[in-house]
Amino acid sequence: MIRYFISSAFRNLWEAKVTSLFTAVTLSVALGFLGTYLAVFMNMKAALDLMSEKFPLSVYLSDHVSQAQLDAVQDRLKGSPLVSGVTYTSKDKALEDFRGSRKDEAALIDSLGTNPLPASLDVALRPDAGPEAAMALVKEVRTMQGVDEVNYMQEEAGKLRSMLASFRIAGLALGLAVLMGVVFISYSTLRLAVLNHSEEIAVMKLMGAARIFIMGPFLLEGLFQGLIAAGLSLGVLYGLLHYLSGTPSVMLLAPGGLAFLPVWAWLGMIASGGLLGLTGSLFAFVRTLRM
Amino acid sequence: MIQFYHVSKSYDGRQQAVSDISFRVKKGEFVYLTGPSGAGKSTILRLMICAETPDDGQILIAGRNIARLKQHDIPKLRRGIGVVFQDFKLIERKTVYENVALSLRILGYSEEVIRKKTGHVLKSVGVYSRKDSYPLQLSGGEQQRVAIARALVKDPIILVADEPTGNLDWDVTQDIMALIKDIHAQGTTVIVATHNREIIKRMPKRVLHIEAGRMLEQG
**Are B20 and B9 in contact, with CB atoms under 8 Å apart?**
no
In CATH, the number for domain B1-80+156-219 is 3.40.50.300
Same domain for A206 and A269, yes or no, is yes
- Is the pLDDT reported for residue A269 higher than 70? yes
Residue A28 lies in a domain: yes
Please give the helix or strand (H or E) that residue B41 lies within, else none.
helix B41-48
Residues A196, A126 share a domain: no
Question: In 3-state terms, what secondary structure has residue B153?
Answer: coil
**Are the Cβ atoms of A208 and B108 closer than 8 angstroms?**
no
- pLDDT for the residue B109: 92
A163 CB near a chain B CB, below 8 Å? no
User: Under an 8 A CB cutoff, do B75 and A200 touch?
Assistant: no
Task: Establish if A57 belongs to a structural domain.
Answer: no
Same domain, A115 and A198: no
Percent above pLDDT 70 for chain A: 89
From chain A, the residues in CB contact with B150 under 8 A are: 207
Domain that holds residue A227: 2-51+158-289
Please report, for chain B, how many H helices and E strands are present, in that order.
7, 10
Closest residue in chain B to residue A201, using alpha carbons only: B91
Query: Is A209–B93 a contact, with Cβ atoms under 8 angstroms apart?
Result: no
List, in order, residues 6 or more apart from B17 with CB less than 8 Å away.
B9, B10, B11, B40, B43, B213
**Averaged over A122-134, what is the pLDDT?**
77
Q: Least CB-CB distance to B75: which of A4, A200, A209?
A: A209
- Identify whether A150 is part of a domain: no
* Position A290 confidence tier, pLDDT thresholds 50, 70, 90: low
* Interchain CB distance below 8 Å, B102 and A204: yes
Of B83, B108, B111, the CB nearest to A206: B83
Cβ-proximal residues to B201 (8 Å cutoff; 6+ apart), any chain: none
Q: Looking at residues A52-76, what average pLDDT do you find?
A: 84
A positions 58-117 inside 8 Å of B (CB): none
Of the candidates B83, B82, B87, B84, which has an alpha carbon nearest to the alpha carbon of residue B167? B87
Helix spans in chain A (H): 2-15, 17-54, 67-78, 91-101, 103-112, 131-142, 153-196, 198-206, 211-245, 248-253, 263-290
Domain boundaries, chain B: 1-80+156-219, 89-155
The neighbouring-strand residues paired with A58 are A122, A151
The one-letter code for the residue type at A18 is: V
Same domain, A168 and A284: yes
Of the residues A145, A172, A204, the one at which a domain ends: A145
Helix (H, G, I), strand (E, B) or coil at B114: helix
Residues of chain B where predicted confidence (pLDDT) is lower than 70: 13, 167, 217-219
Distance from B89 to chain A by nearest Cα, in Å? 7
pLDDT class of A52 with cuts at 50, 70, 90? low
Phi and psi at residue A109, to the nearest 5°: -65, -45
- The string of DSSP codes covering A123-144 is EEEPTT--HHHHHHHHHHHHTS
Q: What are phi and psi of B215, to 5 degrees?
A: -80, 120
Count of the separate structural domains present in chain A? 2
Q: With bands split at pLDDT 50, 70 and 90, how would you rate the model's confidence at A191?
A: confident
Contact between residue A73 and residue A148 where contact means Cβ atoms under 8 Å apart? no
Q: Is the pTM of this model over 0.90?
A: no
Q: Does A7 touch chain B (CB under 8 A)?
A: no
Residues A123 and A166 in one domain: no
- pLDDT, tens only, A78-90: 998 888 888 999 9
- Among the residue ranges A101-115, A195-209, A254-268, B99-113, the one predicted with the least confidence is A101-115
Residue of chain B nearest A12, judged by CA positions: B93
Question: Domain holding A107: CATH number?
Answer: 3.30.70
Residue of A nearest to B107 (CA): A209
Measured between CB atoms, which of A15, A200, A213 is closest to B106?
Answer: A213
Please name the amino acid found at residue A82.
L
**A7 assigned to some structural domain:** yes
